Structure 1
Amino acid sequence: MPHQKFQSARIRPRYAKGALSTFGANSVYPRIPWVAAWWSFTFPGFGHIFLGRYLPGFILIIWELVVNTQANLNMGIALSMLGKFEEAKAVINEEWVLLYMGAYIFSIWDSYRSAVEISKSHILSEVEDAPVGPSVVSAFDIIIVDKRKPWLAAVWSAISPGLGQLYSGHTITGTFILAWWIFVTYKANMIGTWFYSSIGDFTIATAMADWQWFLFIPSMYAFAIYHAYVTVNEINILYDIEQTRYLRVRDENLAQEKQNALEKDTLQIIATFEHSPFVEMAIHDFETIGIPTENIVALPLENLESDTYIIDSLHRVDGRSVLDGAMVSGAIFMVLGTIYGFVWEWGPVIWGLLGLLGGFFLGLIIELAFHKNKTKLFASRKNEVYMQVTCNSSMKEHMIKILKARKANGYLILPQRITPDV
């Protein structure tokens, strides 16, 4: 669980946990180094984008599209996989391949190295309990760190890569992914290939596909879905971190003020919430109806549960996801399905999608086999914020209405004989 070493609001941290700007949100989030290296192996630049290093990622993606195309490397790989070695030698441009190899190896190495360094920085930012601004408003956009649904981001990116990133608040990344997705699908004749595949005319679908450009699509498509999913998870955790720090700083400030003794006809209500804007709205509502600020205690709970989940898959703040292996396997089999789809009956689109689904479930089964004793399908609902409010007994019904309106998970009215110290 994060935030174990809470520091005073007066301390200025040296290491940042995240930042918001007009261009989107980003966070220093620990990622598994081999996962970052794998995405760079699949497509140079993807590993850097996965880590939040967007500028070098964009540069390497443009470099890959230009140099790979000039070298006819995708075409050579596809022909080699199909056993047509002489044809593969004939189409590949050796000079461009030699230029390609250095930057390709650098991309894999640098993404692995960056993942290690980012994890170190994350640990130091946790020690200092670095703050994160919850919102940025400018003339161009409004960026707010709030809770969103990871599966919905994945669905939007499955419909069109880039939409999931826009949904998650990564404006520049989403725009860039949308742009290169449109460009690559145009060059690959993807729309026509998809159309003829959908109506069952696989001969025309296969004939019109441009092999060189079409083989960019599997890696791009799989990565866009995976990246959209994990970035929403990261932003959700960033929200929890920001709100946790706010609540603890608030309590630290209240502790310095004189506390009021319990008066006659006073009741105490305890409620629990999930991390969300409703927590702060409830505090504001209570203050609005006249409850003194010092009578409202709101602090995060420390979760003791340590199980790994499939759907709620980012395991706390260690960067580990059960879906890592599943999406890696899905990307591999989507590429293979696309390559062999050029010569098989159903064409590259159908076999590519079947490869993605089959590879995903195969990878998921392997992940589950390694975590069989501690993996659940869905995360159970967590009570993440504890709130205790002391008020006059006459305000009881009003208090309950506020708790219901602000989506409290539940509440308890303490008996008068119990006066807990918090």
Structure 2
Amino acid sequence: MSDSYTPRRKRLSLSAYTTSEMHVRHPLIAVWWAASFGGFGQIMIGSYIKGFVLVIMEIILNLMANVNLAILYSFTGRIELAIEVLDARWLLAYVLAYCYGLWDAYNHSVSLNKQAVLAEREKAPIDVFVMQSYSINFLDKRAPWVGMFWSIVFPGLGHMFVMRMVTGLFLISFWMVGAYYSHLFQVVHFTLLGDFEQALAVADPQWLMFLPSLFCFAVYDAYTSIVELNKKFDTEQREYLEKRYQRLLIELPMPITEGESQMLIAATFDHSSFVELAVTELEAKGISKEKILAIPIAQKQKNVAILDTIHRSDGISIIDTASVFGTIGMVLGTIYGFVWAWGPVFWALIGLFGGAAIGLAGDYLLTRRKMTRQRRDKVSELVLLISCDNAEANMVEQVLRDNAAFGVGTVKP
């Protein structure tokens, strides 16, 4: 590839209000979310406008055809009522839109996977910073579990945390409308008071059955978005350091003799903004970039850890399976909560945690992954070598330690 070659794609693009990135996704996961709720599969793969339109179509056509009521009556054995409530004038339109969502989610994810592979091979650009008068957005490492936590507190907040503002605002709006028309908070209030009959009396099953899929999708999508953005941060920083700090003008191994004025300092880091803060501060203090050598270290993990973190992601997260079974369990819990004691809220939570546990156990049994705990001591991802004069050594070492180096070593004459 010639130096003048300009990549035709982007791996990640930032704007003042959202973050869009391409990575390989399993098409069946996109199909699952499209099946869970029309449009969610498209939102997951980044086709936002199409996804929002399909979500709105799902809501309108479902309500007009009374699909959720028919599902509730069917699963609770009241087949005649299910047939009676279905409105045939809207049902065919709903089925056609639903089937299109499944087909499009699969085909679009397959096509995007090809583009993501090509973008990775040609080292397409990764945006890292954008600033406008009304907002600032930048690529940084974030903890996936923080995004998951805020999505649990209020669906959509996890997307705000990762600067996917459009999706976040859409999910927040959907959740507020759904909670209002389903009387969710009244149902929760009466459930906590133990008044299950009143909880059932105020609940609107048509709207309440929308919420499990929305809740689980918001948690899943926020978590996976942060994991993938963390990978992009590592990739971009590794490529930047290799391009700027691998001129290799340092003599290695450096000859050390009595009275030599030069020394070599080594430091280890993980990928973070501290690395760039360290090297730019060293340059500002007189250490030229030709005297700095950055060596990214490729990690090969034999055991797949169960959880992704801000420092590590192996790309084989089992939250996929847990989210699928958790969503199924939550929907079924909501349905049967209308005929079982304790009501839909308790059974939705039981279904959520029970389904997620089944998903975790099933994934382990089927794949035989070894669920190792994450090591408490962080694994180094990067080595910096700095050549400097003896008089500069203390300054260099202090800069490295102030910017979160795991360890610093020196070779003195």
> What's 1:327 paired with?
323
Preserved contact between residue 30 and residue 318 of structure 1 (Cα < 8 Å): no
Counterpart of 1:241?
235
Gaps of 5+ in 1: 1-6, 417-422
Conserved in 2, the CA contact under 8 Å of 1:299 and 1:386? yes
Which residue among 376, 379, 387 is the counterpart of 1:382? 379
Matched letter for residue 143 of structure 2:
K
What's the counterpart of residue 394 of structure 2?
A: 397
Equivalent residue number for residue 210 of structure 1: 204
Which segment is superposed worse, 117-126 or 220-229? 117-126
Match in the other structure for 1:420: none
- C-alpha distance 21-306 of structure 1, shift in aligned 2 (>3 A): farther
Give the Å deviation of 1:372: 2.8
TM-score, normalised with respect to structure 2: 0.93
The question of whether the paired residues in 1 share the 8 Å contact of 2:250 and 2:387 is answered with no
- Identify if the C-alpha distance between structure 1 residues 339 and 313 changes in structure 2 by more than 3 Å, giving closer, same or farther: farther
- Aligned with 2:21 (options 19, 27, 30): 27
Equivalent residues of 2:307, 2:317 under 8 A apart: no
| 1:351-390 → structure 2 map (5 Å cutoff) | 351-378=347-374, 381-390=378-387
- Distance in structure 1 (CA, Å) of the matches to 2:405 and 2:19: 28
Tell me the amino acid that sits aligned with residue 106 of structure 2. Y
- In the alignment, is residue 269 of structure 1 matched against residue 271 of structure 2? no
Task: State the AA in 2 paired with 1:345.
Answer: A
CA contact (8 A) 1:315 1:321 kept: no
> Pick from 49, 57, 60: which aligns with 1:63?
57
Deviations 1:395-414 (A, max 9, x none): 22222221111001112223
Deviations 1:297-342 (A, max 9, x none): 1132111225322111799888542110011000000000000001
Give the match's secondary structure for 1:375.
coil
> Is 301-310 or 351-360 further displaced after alignment?
301-310
Q: Which moved more, 1:404-413 or 1:151-160?
A: 404-413
CA distance in 2, matches of 1:23, 1:141: 7
Further displaced range: 16-25 or 64-73 = 16-25
Q: Quick check: 2:304–2:369 contact (8 Å CA) kept in 1? A: no
Residue 373 of structure 1 deviates from its aligned partner by 4.4
- Using the alignment, how far apart are the partners of 1:141 and 1:210 within structure 2? 39
Cα 1:314–1:11 change in 2 (3 A) is farther
Q: Is the aligned partner of 1:151 residue 2:145?
A: yes
Q: Is this contact kept in 1: 2:329–2:351, CA < 8 A?
A: yes
Q: 1:299 to 1:24 in 2, by over 3 A?
A: farther
Structure 2 counterpart of 1:25, which letter?
A: T
Structure 2 residues not aligned, in runs of 5+: none
Distance in 1, matches of 2:286 and 2:241, equals 20
Matched, 1:87 2:81: yes
Moved more, 368-377 or 97-106: 368-377
2:177 is aligned to: 183
Q: Which residue of 1 is the match for residue 7 of structure 2?
A: 13
The residue type equivalent to 2:200 in the other structure is: T
Question: What do residues 271-299 of structure 1 show as CA deviations (whole Å, max 9, x unaligned)?
Answer: 11111111111001111221122001113
Structure 2 residue aligned with 1:293, among 283, 289, 293?
A: 289
| Cα distance in 2 between the residues matched to 1:10 and 1:375 | 46
DSSP-derived class of the 1:70 partner = helix
CA distance change for structure 1 residues 155 and 9 in 2, over 3 Å: closer, same or farther? farther
Partner residue in 2 for 1:74? 68
Stretch of structure 1 that moved more, 388-397 or 299-308: 299-308
Aligned residue for 2:409, secondary structure, equals strand
Give the alignment partner of residue 112 of structure 2, picking from 113, 118, 128: 118
* Correspondence for 2:216: 222
How many angstroms apart in 1 are the aligned matches of 2:266 and 2:311?
Answer: 29
CA contact (8 A) 1:311 1:379 kept: no
1-structure distance, mates of 2:14, 2:2 = 22
Question: Partners of 1:384 and 1:131 in 2: how far apart?
Answer: 22
- Matched residue of 1:309: which SS? coil
- Pair 306,18 (structure 1): closer, same or farther in 2 beyond 3 Å: farther
Cα separation, 2, equivalents of 1:316 and 1:105: 37
Q: How far off is 1:143 after superposition?
A: 0.6
For residues 331-350 of structure 1, the aligned pairs below 5 Å read 331-350=327-346
Give, in whole Å, the separation in 1 of the partners of 2:366 and 2:204: 40
Letter in 2 for 1:209: A
Give the aligned partner of residue 231 of structure 1. Answer: 225
The question of whether the paired residues in 2 share the 8 Å contact of 1:168 and 1:228 is answered with yes
Contact 1:8 1:249 in 2 (8 A): no
Alpha-carbon distance in structure 2 between the residues aligned to 1:137 and 1:116: 33
Cα displacement string for residues 110-139 of structure 1 (whole angstroms, at most 9, x for unaligned residues): 111122112211111111111212011112
CA distance in 2 between counterparts of 1:118 and 1:100 reads 26
Would the aligned equivalents of 2:44 and 2:221 in 1 still touch at CA under 8 Å?
Answer: yes
Q: Amino acid of the residue matched to residue 343 of structure 1?
A: V
Number of aligned residue pairs: 408
> Over aligned residues, Cα RMSD in angstroms?
2.2
- The answer to which of 349-358 and 303-312 deviates more is 303-312
Question: Taking structure 1 as reference, are residues 251 and 10 closer, same or farther at Cα in structure 2, changes over 3 Å only?
Answer: farther
* 1:379 CA displacement: 6.1
Q: Distance in 2 between matches of 1:373 and 1:105?
A: 34
Runs of 4+ more than 6 Å apart: 257-263, 313-318
Q: Distance in 2 between matches of 1:377 and 1:47?
A: 31
Deviation, structure 1 residue 194: 1.0
87, 102, 109: which is aligned to 2:103? 109
What is the aligned partner in structure 1 of residue 165 from structure 2?
A: 171
> What code does the residue aligned with 2:280 have?
H
